[in-house]
Amino acid sequence: MREYRNVFAEVGIPEADIAKKLESAFNTMFYGSDDERVYHPVGDDMGYIEDTGNIDARTEGMSYGMMLCVQLGKKEEFDRIWKWSMTYMYMTEGRHAGYFAWSCKPDGTKNSHGPAPDGEEYFAAALLMASSRWGDGDGLYNYSEWARTILRDCIHRGGDGEKAGLTMWEPSNHLIKFVPESPYTDASYHLPHFYEIFAERSDPEDRAFWAEAAKASREYLHKACHPKTGLCSDYANYDGSVLEHSFNPHAGLHYSDSYRTVYNIALDWSWNKADPWQPEECRRVQKFFEEAGDKRDLVPHPDGTFTDETAMHPVAIRATEAAASLAALDGANAEEKARAERLVKEFFEMPLRTGKRRYYDNFLQIFSLLMLSGSYRIY
């Protein structure tokens, strides 16, 4: 039986305090004041997650909300978010039919008809877990069938004509794309721990693909993360090199997307222990930020040289740095162990962010709380 490590308990935090912290964080994010919440119920059976920095609903946030709800057993909120996603985001016609529009206004109007693959992979994983935890319902709530449909479209939509190459994974190397049209990737999109689940529960004919995708993503992360600092860039080429030219001026920096990479690595280690490089990588990132001192809230290049720009999401950095302890503690020497445990204790005392930028920071914070409490589980 798979065991889920409770690092908070290991460092002496009482179980009751851990449970209270998690429930409080969820209640604040979903039902707190207007300066705290990111969830908005709509009518009798829908709801959306707001990116409070951009005043929109994104597949990133909607799928995050669903994953959070299935982990915490919040079925009503899960179903509301899923129905809103299918009502307003899912595209049934046009170039990207079968995918979800990555951004919508709060009233459901699409800001874009393009998809972002990180939303699809989180939707699929959350739906598969909902199926296991609550069972499948009818129609929209036949969770496992919708998950398989999403996964099927992600890897089979390429073909002839205008839709050629519109798969979300590159068939030649099994790596997830930044968007279906792009010839590059985003390190934080690589979720081998989800692909292992897909390899067990997707259409039987696709299971070998997902097993290869898990292997390929683990190998890719070795290339994308700097060997000394452990940092990656927001976007990168398939060989792991920094994407030098992009519409995004931060693409080559260790910026907002990148923060998720280390906690994805730690979660994969926790669930699968398939790559002994992962604990070492997590320790590198923790050591880098500790040695950065007063510069730790500035934006760095992957090689560790700093810009003079202040990070937009400092809470997210702290959260994911602490979550890395889930892997970093394995095989750590005394100095590394002390550092990892200190980060966990400091993180537990950190409050949720309020104000405009709270959406992204607080999701990474609550996912880190789930990880370190042993509450981020495979269902």
Instruction: Output the pLDDT for position 292.
Output: 97
Fold: same for 1-37+225-379 and 39-220: yes
Give the tens place of pLDDT for each residue, 218-232.
999 999 999 999 999
Average pLDDT of span 152-163: 81
- 3-state DSSP call for residue 112? coil
- The identity of residue 171, as a single letter, is P
Average pLDDT of span 48-75: 98
Mark whether 203 is an active-site residue.
Answer: no
Rounded (10°) CA dihedral 155, 210, 363, 166: -10
Helix and strand element counts for the chain (H, E): 14, 8
Instruction: Output the pLDDT for position 165.
Output: 79
Instruction: Output the pLDDT for position 160.
Output: 65
The most distant pair of C-alpha atoms in the chain lies apart, rounded to whole Å, by 60
CA distance 147 to 236: 28
3-state DSSP helix/strand/coil % of the chain, to nearest 5: 55, 10, 40
Residue ranges of domains in the chain: 1-37+225-379, 39-220
* Residue 161 pLDDT grade (very low, low, confident, very high; cuts 50, 70, 90): low
Average pLDDT of span 78-86: 98
In the predicted structure, residue 163 carries a pLDDT above the cut 80: no
The one catalytic residue among 56, 60, 153, 341: 60
How is domain 39-220 classified at the CATH fold level? Glycosyltransferase (1.50.10)
Phi, psi of 239 (to 5 degrees): -90, 5
Average pLDDT of span 39-68: 98
Report whether 327 contacts 278 (CB < 8 A). yes
Average pLDDT of span 319-330: 98
Q: CB burial class (10 A; 0-12, 13-18, 19+) of residue 279? A: buried
Instruction: Output the pLDDT for position 2.
Output: 87
Report whether 259 contacts 301 (CB < 8 A). no
- 3-state DSSP call for residue 58? strand
Q: Any idea which residue has 């810009």 for tokens?
A: 307
Mean pLDDT of the chain: 97
The one catalytic residue among 36, 50, 56, 257: 257
* Residue 184 pLDDT grade (very low, low, confident, very high; cuts 50, 70, 90): very high
* Residue 245 pLDDT grade (very low, low, confident, very high; cuts 50, 70, 90): confident
Helical (H) or strand (E) element with 195: helix 192-201
Cα distances from 134 to residues 11, 140, 296, 379, in angstroms, run 33, 14, 42, 10
Give the tens place of pLDDT for each residue, 132-156.
999 999 999 999 999 999 999 999 9
Instruction: Output the pLDDT for position 159.
Output: 64
Mark whether 60 is an active-site residue.
Answer: yes
Q: Tell me the two tokens of residue 26.
A: 């969820």
CATH architecture designation of domain 1-37+225-379: Alpha/alpha barrel (1.50)
Q: What percent of the chain has pLDDT over 70?
A: 99
Instruction: Output the pLDDT for position 222.
Output: 98
* Residue 24 pLDDT grade (very low, low, confident, very high; cuts 50, 70, 90): very high
